[in-house]
Structure 1
Amino acid sequence: MSGTLAARLTDAGFAAGWHAVRLLPEPAARGAFDRAGRWAAGRDGTGIRQLRANLRVATGGRLSEPELAALTTRAVQSYARYWQEAFRLPTLSSERIVAGTEMVGLEHLEKARAGGRPLVMALPHSGNWDAAGVWFIDWLDGPFMTVAERLRPESLYERFLAYRESLGFRVVPLTGGPRPSTEVLRDWLRAGGVTCLLVDRNLGSGGVPVQFLGRSATLPGGAALLAAQTGAALVPAVCQFTERGWRVVLSPEVPVDGPGRLKDRVAGAMQSVADAFAPSIADRPEDWHMLGRIWPDVPPDPPRGTAAGEA
């Protein structure tokens, strides 16, 4: 299959999903995506095997292989729940989302806002960050700004852009925009705005070396750099699912000012962000949807039934 045809089919699939899932009763939609998650976990593709390897690290290697397999299945079902909710979220009232969201550590946001400071929220790929964004817009009584990776085909990127903007987000492309995304975010923050950035996987060539969940990784340093340049409060946040809704665990502000070189302060701040993520990910590892490689020495697991040395 050509790359162009595959891209068109992918976009068509998302378009159909956004339309069809909204027509289903919510229990039926959730049940269908739950079954799809189990099916995807059973296929044991490369992303699933990377997820399993990542979860082995996140759980400290304490689980037996059957326990880890069960956790991986729950994690894929959690990720399927995210997609089911993504397809339906624009049809849900903000009142319902706000009422169904539990905020842990809200005082850390209130402290920064009481001081009239802008905010940089740093998040991992966990739970439903879109639902958390709806809560956040209601709390701010206005929009926040975020960055979106440029997807291919362009029509799929435009579809995701329209989706998030329909929720009230302001979205700038990571690359390919009329101005560099860092410039747009910096101006937004200096005007008193708020930005939310996913920072648990580095997609560029740079990044900041940290210890994350006990292993060496590289995280993007943009969130800490923006906070240092604008005086914004850098607040880590981890989204989780609950039985009927959502939870967001907020950590205290991570300082980025003080003596020393800017490069060192950014590196220290991102280490503190990684440290803040760790307890919540360890508490609900199934809600951490990391199907990509983040540790250089943690490749995807070999296919099931294959010895590691034969992979």
Structure 2
Amino acid sequence: MSRFSQRLSDLGYAAGWRLARMLPASAGATAFSLGADLAAKRDGAGVQQLRSNLARVVPQADEVELDELTRRALRSYARYWHETFRLPSMDQREVSKKVAASITGVENLDAALAEGNGAVMALPHSGNWDIAGVWLADYLGGFTTVVERLKPESLFNRFVAYRESLGFEILPLTGDSSAMRVLLKRLRENKAICLVGDRDLTSSGIPVKFFGEQTRMPGGPARLAATTGAALIPAGCWFTEDGWQIRLHPRIRVNAREEVPAATQALADIFAGDIAAHPTDWHMLQKFWLADLEIEESVSTGEAS
């Protein structure tokens, strides 16, 4: 991405934050939904990939149903951004109370922290994970997470400031061991960390089978649990008509490094169960399965026929 494109991206996000807070909530929601419908009609590369991903998640869907699933998924993604842009001006205590009224599985988190080794919570790109973070920060007084280092730096700093304002401790994904050292320290302090665990952003992901096809998922959550004795707790997030649902699953036992691949597969299986039940709330507009990634790599190296 050129510097000019990066600057435009930063300005676009800045405008989104301002406009979403200026508009009444209902008007903003309508505007973002209309934008999602327009994106569906334009059928760009991201929309086409979303449709391809949904075809794996809902293999029984015909062409008409896939079109509808894609439209609804884009509306869900637009809702995520609308809520994200509005969240700093929302009453976060009220948001937390609303989540607390419906969240399930909190006893799994409580039991983990009672053991004294911390908790590693892993979740996919589904629903509104920032809303889940607002509840978690309120419930525990804070937590730590790792985020991708976006470009330009001004955009990355904007997102860091936004999430820190919600009570998150943010560590940038830098490619070295600095973030890992802080995460280990937090777990040894019997604190919680929360990691997005479906899309692998490195070259060291763990091979898993997901909806019947091979892909890779980050091994970090299971490795942290194996290293520290922390509980590995899968989490699911999805939208309801007027709110959010969060489910904290029972812990996945992982006691040694050699158990990391099996634990990561177990995590993938739980993610798949929640995503299959709420496919349009999984916001995956990127290539995800190895078959797609290998095609992309072969094209970029000129190996495609």
Cα offsets for 1:100-136 (capped at 9, x unmatched): 2221222211221232330100000000000000011
Normalised TM-score (structure 2): 0.92
Q: Is the 8 A contact 1:54 1:298 kept in 2?
A: no
Q: Which runs of 5+ in 2 are unaligned?
A: 295-305
Structure 1 segment 79-228 matched on structure 2, within 5 A: 79-101=77-99, 102-140=102-140, 142-175=141-174, 180-228=178-226
CA distance in 2, matches of 1:299, 1:268: 23
Question: Aligned partner of 1:185: which letter?
Answer: L
Q: 2:268 aligns with which of 255, 260, 274?
A: 274
Show CA shifts across 1:34-56 (max 9, x none): 11111112111111111111111
Q: Deviations over 1:150-208 (max 9, x none)?
A: 1110000000000100111000000178x621111111111111110011011111111
User: 2:191, 2:184 → 1: CA distance?
Assistant: 9
Deviations 1:230-259 (A, max 9, x none): 1111000011011111111221100001xx
- Find the aligned partners of 1:279 and 1:237 in 2 and give their Cα distance: 11
Return the alpha-carbon distance in structure 2 between the equivalents of residues 264 and 69 of structure 1.
42
Partner letter of residue 71 of structure 2? T
Give me the whole-angstrom Cα distance separating, in 2, the residues matched to 1:176 and 1:154. 16
8 Å CA contact retained: 2:113, 2:190: no
Secondary structure, in 3 states, of the residue corresponding to 2:202?
Answer: coil
Identity across the alignment (%): 50
In the alignment, what sits opposite 2:303? Answer: none
Distance (Å, rounded) in 2 between the aligned partners of 1:180 and 1:292:
27
Distance 1:75 1:63 in 2: 14
Distance 1:36 1:99 in 2: 30
Q: 1:127 and 1:229 mapped to 2: Cα distance? A: 30
Q: Deviations over 1:52-95 (max 9, x none)?
A: 11111111x10001101100110011000000000000111122
Q: Secondary structure at the match of 1:297?
A: helix
TM-score normalised to structure 1 length? 0.91
2:297 maps to none
Is 2:117–2:189's contact at 8 Å kept on the other side of the alignment? no
Counterparts of 1:137 and 1:299 in 2: how far apart (Å)?
Answer: 35
Name stretches of at least 5 consecutive residues in structure 1 with no aligned partner: 301-311
Q: Distance in 2 between matches of 1:208 and 1:293?
A: 17
Question: Is contact 2:275–2:281 with CA below 8 Å preserved after alignment?
Answer: yes
Between the aligned partners of 1:282 and 1:86, the Cα distance in structure 2 is: 24
Answering whether residue 25 of structure 2 is matched by residue 26 of structure 1, we say yes
Question: Which amino acid is 2:277 matched to?
Answer: D
Query: Does structure 2 conserve the Cα–Cα contact (< 8 Å) formed by 1:50 and 1:299?
Result: no
Counterpart of 2:67?
Answer: 69
> Hey, which of these two has a bigger chunk of helix by percent?
2
For the 8 Å contact 2:117–2:188, the answer to whether it is kept is: no
Q: Distance in 1 between matches of 2:290 and 2:43?
A: 21
Task: Give me the CA root mean square deviation.
Answer: 1.8
Tell me what 1:14 maps to.
Answer: 13
Secondary structure of the 1:117 match is coil
> Superposition pairs for residues 32-51 of structure 1, below 5 Å?
32-51=31-50
Supply the AA of the counterpart residue of 1:268. Answer: A
